[in-house]
Amino acid sequence: MAFTATMLGWGLVDFAEGQETAGQMDYGRATVKWATDYFLKAHTAHFEFYGQVGKGTLDHDYWGRPEDMTMERPAWDIDSKAPGSDLAAETAAALAAAAIVFQEVDPQYSSEMLGVAQELYEFADEKREMYSNSITDAAQYYKSWSGYGDELCWGALWLYRATRNDTYLMKAHEAWDEFDLGAGAEEFSWDDKKAGVYALFTLLEPDDEKYPAALKEFLRHIREDMPYTPGGLVFINKWGANRHAANVAFLSLWAAKQGMNVKTNRDFATSQINYILGDVGHSFVIGYGVDPPQKPHHRSSSCPWPPESCLGYQQNPGPNPHTLYGALVGGPDQDGNWVDDRLDYVHNEVACDYNAAFTGALAGMIETN
Asked if residue 118 binds ligand NAG (CB under 6 A), the reply is yes
Asked if residue 202 binds ligand NAG (CB under 6 A), the reply is no
Asked if residue 111 binds ligand NAG (CB under 6 A), the reply is no
Number of Cβ atoms within 10 Å of the Cβ of 24: 19
Q: Which is nearer to ligand NAG, 127 or 298 (CB)?
A: 127
Minimal CB distance residue for ligand NAG: 165
Name the residue among 24, 8, 14, 2 with its Cα closest to residue 84.
2
Q: Which is nearer to ligand NAG, 118 or 283 (CB)?
A: 118
Asked if 188 and 226 touch (Cβ cutoff 8 Å), the reply is no
150 is catalytic: no
DSSP-based three-state secondary structure for 357 = helix
Q: Which is nearer to ligand NAG, 111 or 165 (CB)?
A: 165
Interatomic CA distance for residues 239 and 244, integer angstroms = 9
Interatomic CA distance for residues 272 and 361, integer angstroms = 10
Interatomic CA distance for residues 354 and 330, integer angstroms = 8
Closest approach of ligand NAG to the CB of residue 165, in Å: 4
| Active-site entry in 14, 150, 151, 349 | 349
Q: Which is nearer to ligand NAG, 35 or 156 (CB)?
A: 156
Asked if residue 315 binds ligand NAG (CB under 6 A), the reply is no
| Active-site entry in 267, 340, 344, 367 | 340
Q: With CB under 6 A, what is the number of residues at the site for ligand NAG?
A: 3
Asked if residue 136 binds ligand NAG (CB under 6 A), the reply is no
**Cα dihedral across residues 276, 279, 283, 284: positive or negative:** negative
Asked if residue 99 binds ligand NAG (CB under 6 A), the reply is no
Name the residue among 192, 283, 183, 180 with its Cα closest to residue 244.
192
340 is catalytic: yes
Known catalytic residues? Answer: 340, 349
